[in-house]
């Protein structure tokens, strides 16, 4: 028998007749044109600034800032450099964005589900909320919340008290916090280990469901593992129970931790505004589920709540995630309006730096970089979750 010969190797030739080669050339030319345009704009801007005697560059970030910041989660003094001040503003922006996204998700989901309630009053209230808050400009809502915090609440020397440990006044919200000890660090480490255990449990439960069709509870065991890890770490460190409790002094509330009126105004304004849009996203997602699904759930004896939680919402989630991501991005970008009520976010810090140094282009570039990074990070996380929740085709 004659052995079959191997096929001759394919010759790779660079020819514009090839679609792949033409596509590569077009991409290279496009990138070159974009790079040329960016270089031209940057060069032209620098030349115009130099001809007018305007200083440029980011060297000012190493100079002392020389101004105080009213609210900071990290230690800061006016003698610190500008980059440290920008870091404080970025942390304040992330603080509002992260907490706002969590609260917006909870409130928007409740409102969206409430639109399908069998109670006419609940449906009407949810509908009225959505129509009112999404049709009032966000800046106006921020100003209204700020006026409520600074005008209607009592003065700091006569703050509203709840259980003698939580105080609300024009000075903000004061609440007790644990006195930090080594045991609290162990508790955080234990909670992280519990989170890893919860992730492993979730994967095992999903694998068993795919293999046998029998579901395992996931949410409660996962929360239990996180809580158990935190409790074990706290107990291993001696189980300290010391609390720093605020108290009413002669002129103000002292001790404890506090949230400023500016932070509360920004948070409430962003959450109540964005939750109205998220509620519509949830409502549309649930409405996209075929009615036969809920009818089948009812025929199996499931209640309306069980049908919503076990049948409608899991299927609607695949429709909800993409538009909800847009709303999370809007919330993060709308936080830049906090400068209108004096909250020291990255925009407020940049305005102060511009007034002191005159480096407008550089400060604006920093603002753009911060919001671009936070938006892309949020989009990346939500895209990962969207791929995880998508239907896997064979």
Average confidence (pLDDT) over 335-357 = 90
Separation between Cα atoms, residue 131 and residue 315, nearest integer Å:
26
Model pTM score: 0.81
Phi and psi (nearest 5°) for 319? -90, -25
Separation between Cα atoms, residue 243 and residue 246, nearest integer Å:
9
User: Contact, 219 vs 227, CB < 8 A?
Assistant: no
159 compared with 65, residue with greater pLDDT: 65
Confidence of residue 309 (pLDDT cuts 50, 70, 90): confident
| Of 317, 325, 333, nearest in space to 285 by CA | 317
pLDDT at 391: 66
User: Contact, 177 vs 183, CB < 8 A?
Assistant: no
Phi and psi (nearest 5°) for 33? -65, -40
pLDDT at 267: 94
pLDDT at 297: 79
Structure token pair of residue 389:
């929740």
Separation between Cα atoms, residue 280 and residue 274, nearest integer Å:
10
**Which 3 state secondary structure label does DSSP give 12?**
coil
Own/partner pairs, 354-358, CB within 8 angstroms, 24+ separation: 356/65, 356/66, 356/67, 357/55, 357/60, 357/63, 357/82, 358/54, 358/55
| Of 148, 134, 146, 52, nearest in space to 331 by CA | 134
Q: 82-147+261-347+356-389: what fold?
A: MetI-like fold (1.10.3720)
pLDDT at 392: 63
Instruction: Assess whether pLDDT exceeds 70 at residue 5.
Output: no
**Percent with pLDDT over 70 in the chain:** 94
Give domain limits for the chain: 82-147+261-347+356-389, 183-240
**Which 3 state secondary structure label does DSSP give 248?**
strand
Instruction: Assess whether pLDDT exceeds 60 at residue 229.
Output: yes
What would the pLDDT profile of 160-185 be if each residue is shown by its tens digit?
A: 878 778 888 888 888 888 887 888 88
**Percent with pLDDT over 90 in the chain:** 32
**Which 3 state secondary structure label does DSSP give 336?**
helix
Mean pLDDT, the chain, integer: 85
Place of tokens 């959450």: 271
Place of tokens 């589920």: 289
Measured N-to-C along each axis, helices 346-357 and 360-389 cross at an angle, to the nearest 10 degrees, of 160
User: Contact, 176 vs 244, CB < 8 A?
Assistant: yes
Average confidence (pLDDT) over 31-46 = 86
pLDDT at 38: 87
Instruction: Assess whether pLDDT exceeds 60 at residue 72.
Output: yes
């Amino acid at each position: 028998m004659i052995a079959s010969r191997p096929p001759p190797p394919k010759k790779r030739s660079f020819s514009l007749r090839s679609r792949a080669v033409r596509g590569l050339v077009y991409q290279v030319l496009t990138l070159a044109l974009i790079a040329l345009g960016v270089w031209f704009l940057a060069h032209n801007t620098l030349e115009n600034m130099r001809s007018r005697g305007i200083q440029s560059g980011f060297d000012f970030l190493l100079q002392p800032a020389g101004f105080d910041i009213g609210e900071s989660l990290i230690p800061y003094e006016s003698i610190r450099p500008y980059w440290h001040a920008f870091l404080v503003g970025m942390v304040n922006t992330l603080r509002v964005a992260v907490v706002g996204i969590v609260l917006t998700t909870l409130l928007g989901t409740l409102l969206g589900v409430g639109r399908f309630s069998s109670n006419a009053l609940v449906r009407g209230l949810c509908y009225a909320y959505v129509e009112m808050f999404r049709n009032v400009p966000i800046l106006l809502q921020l100003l209204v919340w700020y006026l409520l915090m600074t005008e209607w609440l009592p003065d700091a020397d006569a703050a509203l008290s709840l259980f003698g440990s939580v105080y609300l006044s024009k000075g903000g919200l004061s609440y007790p916090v644990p006195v930090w000890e080594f045991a609290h660090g162990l508790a955080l480490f234990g909670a992280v280990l519990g989170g890893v255990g919860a992730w492993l449990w979730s994967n095992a439960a999903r694998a068993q469901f795919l293999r046998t069709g029998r579901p395992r509870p996931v949410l409660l065991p996962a929360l239990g593992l996180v809580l158990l890890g935190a409790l074990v770490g706290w107990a291993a460190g001696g189980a300290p129970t010391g609390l720093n409790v605020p108290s009413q002094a002669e002129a103000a509330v002292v001790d404890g931790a506090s949230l400023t009126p500016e932070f509360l105004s920004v948070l409430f304004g962003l959450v109540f505004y964005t939750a109205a849009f998220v509620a519509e996203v949830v409502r549309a997602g649930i409405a996209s589920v075929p009615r036969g699904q809920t009818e089948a759930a009812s025929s199996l004896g499931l209640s309306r709540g069980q049908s919503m939680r076990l049948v409608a919402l899991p299927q609607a989630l695949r429709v909800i995630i993409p538009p909800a991501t847009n709303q999370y991005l809007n919330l993060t970008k709308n936080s830049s309006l906090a400068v209108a009520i004096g909250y020291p976010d990255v925009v407020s810090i940049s305005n102060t730096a511009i007034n002191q140094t005159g480096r407008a282009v550089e400060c604006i570039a920093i603002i753009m970089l911060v919001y671009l990074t936070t938006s892309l990070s949020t989009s990346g996380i939500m895209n990962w979750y969207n791929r995880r929740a998508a239907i896997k085709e064979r």
